[in-house]
Amino acid sequence: MRLFIALELPQKSKDLLAQSMTQLAPYVKEGNFVPKQNYHVTLHFLGEVEYSKVLYLQSLLDDLKQMKATQLCHTQTVSWRASQVVCAKYKADENLAKVHHKLAQGLERVGFLVEERRFVPHVTLLRKPSFNLPCSEALKNAPVYNMPFVADTVTLFCSERVDGAMVYTPLYSVKLQPKD
C-alpha cells in the first residue's frame, strides 16, 4: 500500500482553494488540477508500506492525541518548477512543527526513513502545469484567500489510482486537542 500521513483541511479552506484554482484555470494550457477532496497538508510521505505495519502507524497517530491543533494561514500560491507543481504555501503556528517532529521521531523509531529537508507546509493544487503567459503573471490570477483556520485532524491515507484518478482513502484519523 502507498501511504502518507497528512493534516486535513476544513471544508471552507478546501472551498477557497478550489475557488482560487477556478480563477487560475483560464491561464492554464495544460496540467492536472488536484481534486478538492484530495487537498491536504502532507506531514510525512511513507511510500509503499506492508499492511502489517499499519498498526504501528495507528499507534504513532494515537500518540498525537494530547497535542494541540494548529492554526494555518495561506500566505501565497507558488510554482515549484523542480517538482512541477503549483502549491498553496502556509504559515503555521509552532504546534504544527511539534506534531511534524513527534511523528518523525516515531516513524524513525519503527524503521521508516524520514526526509531530511526542511518541512514546508503546503497543499498541492496543480501538477505539471503549463501556462498561457509567464508563470508569475498567471499566478497573480490565483487569489490568496488567507483566512486563518484551525486544523485538528491528522490522518493516515492510502493513495491509489482508480480509473486514472488518484484516490486518497483515509485509514485512520486522530483529533488533536483544541487550540487555546
Which pLDDT score is estimated for 82? 73
Which pLDDT score is estimated for 26? 95
Assign a CATH topology to domain 2-172.
Cyclic Phosphodiesterase; Chain: A, (3.90.1140)
Which pLDDT score is estimated for 113? 87
The Cα 151–Cα 12 span in angstroms is 11
Which pLDDT score is estimated for 127? 94
Q: How many CB atoms lie within 10 A of CB 85?
A: 19
- Whether pTM > 0.85 for this model: the answer is yes
Percent of the chain whose pLDDT exceeds 90: 81
The domain ranges of the chain are 2-172
Q: 4-39 pLDDT, tens per residue?
A: 999 999 999 999 999 999 999 999 999 999 999 999
Which pLDDT score is estimated for 142? 87
Average pLDDT over the chain reads 93
Give the chain's largest Cα–Cα span: 49
Q: Is 19 helix (H, G, I), strand (E, B) or coil?
A: helix
Q: 39-57 pLDDT, tens per residue?
A: 999 999 999 999 999 999 9
- The values of phi and psi at residue 15, to 5°, are -60, -40
Closest CA to 134 of 74, 77, 79: 79
Which pLDDT score is estimated for 41? 97
- The values of phi and psi at residue 56, to 5°, are -60, -40
Which pLDDT score is estimated for 146? 80
Which pLDDT score is estimated for 25? 95
Q: 76-128 pLDDT, tens per residue?
A: 999 987 779 999 999 999 999 999 999 999 999 989 988 888 899 999 999 99
